[in-house]
Amino acid sequence: MAAGSDSTAPEASEQGRAPVAMEKLVSLCAARGFIFASSEIYGGINGFWDYGPLGVELKNNLKALWWQRMVRERSDVVGVDASIVAHPRTWEASGHVDNFSDPMVDCRICKKRFRADQLDDIGPCSAQKGKAECDFTEPRNFNLMLQTQIGASADASQTAYLRPETCQSLFTDFKRVRESARQKIPFGIAQIGKAFRNEITPRNFTFRSREFEQAEMEFFCHPSEREKWFEYWRAERLQFHLDIGLSPDRIQNRPHDDDELAHYAKAAVDVDFHFPFDWQEIEGVHDRGDWDLSRHTEYSGKDLSITDEQTKEKFTPMVIETSMGVDRTCLALLCDALDEETLEDGESRTVMRFHPRIAPVKVAVLPLSKKIGEAAREIDATLRKHWNVFYDEAGNIGRRYRRQDEIGTPFCVTYDFESEDDKKVTVRERDTMNQDRVPIEGLVDYLRDRLEGDS
Ligand code: GAP
């Protein structure tokens, strides 16, 4: 083989690999620039995270796939991008002002605040040097909405909320969108955007954050069709998570028991992922009935019911909601992809086994020597027109391959001294480490087949 090859083939198969520890993932994410603490130089701020150059590509890939599948490929779903701050009455109507709270307790000794339903997980009281447990107050309800003030002068200012879920504008915009986009039920409105919750105990890396993104879709249908559409969207959303590459044995649907249902929900099923810390929800599919449209009709005084043109029947549509946490799904993708592999020679390598659709960098271009960098730069420029490409000419080729394995780059293209004569490059595949000699002329097609093919 002309380009530097890997020392040995992998020993362990990809199947049945063990979950990797969260600490390893968190430090790799920071070191490689996927995700790290917000305002890190000031010590971070609990519950807030920044996505670095690789993280933003990963997240954008996920959002683009969701948008493609939920909006672009369908004639019955349209998209919007609504404001984060809505009229405060919105949150009275939605029930968030009265109901969106967690029970909270304070410790009288260390003054820390905890969720009353998570006390089993906490350690000894920090003010007692591990000698005693905390001394808790009685539980009180703590509203999770983040508040802000609008208006320049104190007199004119008005309390408003940063939205705790992205979907409410899909209900308040329902009439405008239906009429302007000339949609008839059944149809859906979709949105991706930031949501904010003043979580009492943010934890598990980005899993429970105070600022996060949701990708939500509200599907409006006739009351007689709600069960049919609930089942349709349950299955469709589970399939999406398989299609982005999550391992089938690490995702499942979990229906909610009646006593778990949110105040608006008639039925709900979660898509749960097997994180290293537990099975936990990454997406919810909810039958919200006519709760939201009826409440907004009541609070705004604007009639949000519709009339069937043929039968003249007047009714308020029922709503099936799909609500994916973008950050939680990114975290699931990272946990699922991270693998430690022992090679035949006993060495180990860290590999992020992202599906090519999700991988932040699709191809790395690696000239064998800086001396032939100019020709490699031309290949890099050609590939950049199609994909996110990483160019690296520093250091030993084996180490450069390992760096790409660690960030999940599916293909490395190596330009070597023979490339000058035979006009071919070596393409090395991440998972198998197999190498192929490919004509430069056909390189884009070769990579496109493998990166964008059906599998
Ligand atoms: N509109 C319905 C709704 O917001 P939810 O179950 O509260 O329902 C939907 O949230 C999704 O949003 C969850 O499945 C989760 O992926 C994500 N999510 C909720 N709270 C979150 C938090 N504090 N941090 C990160 N993601 C969160």
Confidence at residue 455, expressed as pLDDT on a 0 to 100 scale: 61
Euclidean distance between the first and the last CA atom of the chain, given in angstroms as a whole number: 28
Atom of ligand 1 nearest to the CA of 197: 23
Report the residue among 91, 194, 269, 281 best suited for mutation to probe ligand 1: largest number of ligand atoms under 8 A from its CB. 281
Q: Which two tokens stand for residue 178?
A: 């239906």
**What is the DSSP-derived secondary structure letter of residue 315?**
E
**CA of residue 331 to ligand 1 center, whole Å:** 13
Let me know: does 333 contact 242? Beta carbons within 8 Å: no
Atom of ligand 1 nearest to the CA of 284: 14
Class of domain 29-94+164-335: alpha beta
Q: How many Cβ atoms sit within 10 Å of the Cβ of residue 455?
A: 5
Distance 282 CA to ligand 1 centre (A): 8
| 425 CA → ligand 1 middle, Å | 46
Residue 151 Cα to ligand 1 midpoint, Å, equals 29
CA-nearest residue, atom 6 of ligand 1: 284
> For ligand 1, atom 20, which residue shows the shortest CA distance?
208
Among protein residues, the one with the nearest Cα to ligand 1's atom 26 is 325
Cα–ligand 1 centroid distance for 370 (angstroms)? 48
Instruction: Please state which CATH class domain 361-451 belongs to.
Output: alpha beta
Q: What is the pLDDT of residue 258?
A: 87
pLDDT of 154 reads 65
Best substitution site from 196, 201, 323, 327 to test ligand 1's pocket, by max atoms within 8 Å of Cβ? 323
> Measuring from atom 17 of ligand 1, which residue has the nearest CA?
325
| Cα gap 164→264, rounded to integer Å | 14
pTM for the full model? 0.92
Mutate to test the pocket of ligand 1, among 256, 269, 319, 328 (most ligand atoms within 8 A of CB): 328
- The string of pLDDT tens digits covering residues 147-157 is 999 987 666 67
CA of 216 to the centre of ligand 1 (A): 10
How much distance in Å is there from the Cα of 394 to the middle of ligand 1?
42
Give nearest CA residue, ligand 1 atom 2.
323
The residue whose CA is least distant from atom 22 of ligand 1 is: 208
The secondary element (H helix, E strand) that includes residue 55 is: helix 53-67
Which segments in the chain show pLDDT lower than 50? Answer: 1-5, 7-15, 131
Residues in contact with ligand 1 (CB, 6 Å cut-off) = 165, 167, 197, 199, 208-209, 212, 214, 216, 281-284, 321, 323, 325, 327-328
Burial of 401 (0-12, 13-18, 19+ CB in 10 A): buried
**Cα of 21 from ligand 1 centre, angstroms:** 24
Predicted local distance difference test score (pLDDT) of residue 110? 87
Ligand 1 geometric centre to CA of 392 (Å): 38
Torsion, Cα 79 81 86 87, to 10 degrees, reads: -60
Confidence at residue 265, expressed as pLDDT on a 0 to 100 scale: 86
Q: What is the pLDDT of residues 284-342, one digit of tens each?
A: 999 999 999 999 999 999 999 999 889 999 999 999 999 999 999 999 999 999 999 99
What is each CA distance from 450 to 357, 425, 435, in whole angstroms? 10, 16, 14
Q: Are strands 306-307 and 338-342 parallel, antiparallel or unpaired?
A: unpaired
Determine the Cα–Cα distance for residues 355 and 333; give it in Å rounded to an integer.
9
Domain locations in the chain? 29-94+164-335, 101-143, 361-451
Give one DSSP letter per residue of 253-274, joined into a string: EEEPPGGG--TT-SEEEEEEEE
Query: Looking at ligand 1, which atom is closest to the CA of residue 281?
Result: 14
Burial label for 260, CB within 10 Å (0-12, 13-18, 19+), is exposed
* DSSP 8-state code for residue 164: S
Q: Residue 2 has what pLDDT?
A: 38
Q: How far is the CA of 214 from the centre of ligand 1 (A)?
A: 7
